[in-house]
Chains A and B, each alone.
Chain A
Amino acid sequence: MSDSWISRRGPGFWIGAIIALMATVAGLAASDAINGPTAIILMASTGSLLYPLMRSGERCEERTGTSSPAVRRYNRGMLAASMAYILGMGVAVWLTRQAGVEGDVLWVIAFLPILPIFAMIWVMARYITEEDDEYLRHLAMMANMGGLALLMGLASLWGFFEEFALVPHVSGWWSVPIWALGMGLTRWWIARGNKAEPEA
């Protein structure tokens, strides 16, 4: 897959492709068209689309003037952590649901997807300390505040709804995807009103 082919498609295309692929695999698994291990392997293969997503995101950052050496290090760190997360999650699900692993070893298996999430948090913290461009650092801080606001708001809302048995239980691991969604929405909101001149 050439870089020029990747750059012609925006990050939205790759996010859509990942969601479509995951939904297709989930649909096939739910209808028993494919067995469990095949579904896990296909689901893990969506990780291969993270690289073109990162490259198209970097092209977009270069066009909009939001790129920096720290941003590029952040992108690579997040790509590595996301791939490790998908792999860790796949292996953990396979070991517990297909291989039927039980007992104390579950403590170790649970850490397979947890460690990459800790790595994502560390990559974000490192970015904020390494970013020399004060406006980009300000953007990252605002995005983090947006992510935190969405997470705390939803967690409090859902927590009380759940307390009164109005809604089903939701696992705590959803906190990181919600935080990331909040950051993305905040970045988009700020970027709407701040468009730099195109590259010379």
Chain B
Amino acid sequence: MKNRLRVLRAEREWSQQDLAERLEVSRQSVNAIETGKYDPSLPLAFRIADVFELAIEEIFLRD
């Protein structure tokens, strides 16, 4: 699944660590999701959406 995490993070000038702290996950988790190596669970996807104040489908895109 594709996602716009890196772009959204760059727009806010957040490092991976900044986002990881907001989501209460490890930096490695943020990197794995951002690079498409790991698809988050639905609860984590909702947390990501909340942090960016966007809908899930505005962050995660169908392949």
Contact = CB atoms under 8 A, between A and B. Distances in A.
A joins B in a complex: yes
A161 B30 CA distance: 45
Given A65-B28, A67-B26, A134 B15 contact: no
Interface string B24-63: 1111111111010110110010000000000000000000
Contacts, number: 59
Interface stretch (A102-110, A147-155, A190-198): A190-198
Given A196-B16, A200-B15, A65 B27 contact: yes
Interface residues of A, number: 19
A138 interface: yes
B17 A135 contact: no
A193 B31 CA distance: 11
A32 interface: no
Contacts of B16: 65, 196-197
Size category, B interface: 20 to 34
B37 A193 contact: yes
Contact of B28 (A132, A196, A200): A196
Nearest to A195: B31
Tell which of B15, B18, B26, B31 has the most Cβ of chain A within 10 Å: B26
B37 A200 contact: no
A66 B28 contact: yes
23 contacts: A65-B16, A65-B20, A65-B28, A66-B26, A66-B28, A68-B26, A133-B25, A133-B26, A134-B41, A135-B25, A135-B28, A135-B32, A135-B40, A136-B26, A136-B29, A194-B35, A196-B16, A196-B28, A196-B30, A197-B15, A197-B16, A197-B31, A199-B27
